[in-house]
């Protein structure tokens, strides 16, 4: 069953990759406080993830912060070494935090895992807005490419929420 609006983020062991050392922690510890944008990609260094999905969030970090987002987190079903290399090469360190979900346990717990030909278990492409550990909005990409789960769509959702608040 896929996580839905109003659901609490599950507590699953993950590795948090950021500016310092990789930290063993849990998904709810990383995603459970403040206003968080969490997006998942099928794989580090894969074409669409690397050239379309991640760069949009990096380029719009200041806009997300201006809308009250306390952190942006990218999840990938890769080991922490690959995830860190991708974060460093993408110049995302200090702007975005990364969850390395090497076994896909968080992807499974969220109901957002999928088998991809030749790649095994991966995250489906998605983005969510989480407020104090509860899913406020979920955007799962149904088609190839980055549309509903990309930075522009998530910025629009955040702006729309501010207008109606």
For 79-130, write each residue's pLDDT tens digit.
999 999 999 999 999 999 999 999 999 999 999 998 777 777 888 999 999 9
Instruction: Look up residue 77 and give its two tokens.
Output: 């079903």
Q: Is the pLDDT assigned to residue 53 strictly greater than 90?
A: no
The single residue listed with the structure tokens 């998942």 is 40
Are 38 and 127 a contacting pair, CB within 8 Å? yes
Predicted confidence at residue 25, as pLDDT, reads 98
SS3 13: strand
Its pTM stands at: 0.94
Q: Is the pLDDT assigned to residue 68 strictly greater than 80?
A: yes
Instruction: Look up residue 137 and give its two tokens.
Output: 């909005």
Q: What angle do CA 97, 103, 109 make, to 5 degrees?
A: 80
In this prediction, residues 44-53 reach a mean pLDDT of 74
Predicted confidence at residue 143, as pLDDT, reads 66
Interatomic CA distance for residues 67 and 62, integer angstroms: 9
Q: Among 46-55, 100-109, 132-141, 143-152, which stretch is predicted with the lowest mean pLDDT?
A: 46-55
Give 17-30 pLDDT, tens digit per residue. Answer: 988 889 999 999 99
Q: Clarify whether 49 is annotated catalytic.
A: yes
Confidence of residue 163 (pLDDT cuts 50, 70, 90): low
Q: Among 32-36, 60-64, 111-115, 151-155, which stretch is predicted with the lowest mean pLDDT?
A: 111-115
Strands (E), the chain: 13-17, 23-26, 35-41, 71-76, 97-100, 113-116, 120-123, 126-131, 134-140
Predicted confidence at residue 165, as pLDDT, reads 56
Among 3.40.30.10, 3.40.50.970, 1.10.10.10, 1.20.1260.10, what is the CATH number of 13-164? Answer: 3.40.30.10
Say how many CA atoms lie within 13 Å of 42 toward its Cβ.
20
Predicted confidence at residue 142, as pLDDT, reads 79
Kindly list the domain boundaries of the chain, sorted by start residue.
13-164
**Dihedral-angle region of residue 14 (phi above 0 means left; psi in -120 to 50 means alpha; beta otherwise):** beta
Cβ-proximal residues to 59 (8 Å cutoff; 6+ apart), any chain: 151
Interatomic CA distance for residues 41 and 46, integer angstroms: 9
Catalytic residue (one of 9, 31, 49, 124): 49
């Amino acid at each position: 069953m896929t996580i839905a609006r109003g659901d609490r983020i599950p507590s699953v062991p993950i590795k948090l990759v950021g500016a310092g050392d990789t930290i063993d922690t849990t998904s709810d510890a990383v995603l459970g406080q403040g206003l968080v944008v969490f997006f998942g990609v099928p794989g580090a260094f894969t074409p669409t993830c690397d050239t379309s999905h991640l760069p949009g969030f990096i380029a719009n970090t200041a806009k997300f912060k201006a809308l009250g987002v306390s952190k942006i987190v990218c999840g990938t079903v890769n080991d922490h070494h690959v995830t860190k290399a991708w974060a460093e090469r993408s110049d995302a360190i200090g702007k975005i935090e990364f969850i390395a979900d090497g076994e896909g346990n968080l992807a499974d717990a969220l109901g957002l895992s999928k088998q991809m030909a030749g790649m095994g278990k991966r995250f489906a492409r998605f983005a969510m807005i989480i407020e104090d550990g509860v899913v406020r909005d979920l955007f799962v990409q149904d088609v190839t490419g980055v549309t509903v789960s990309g930075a522009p769509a998530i910025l629009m959702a955040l702006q729309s929420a501010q207008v109606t608040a």
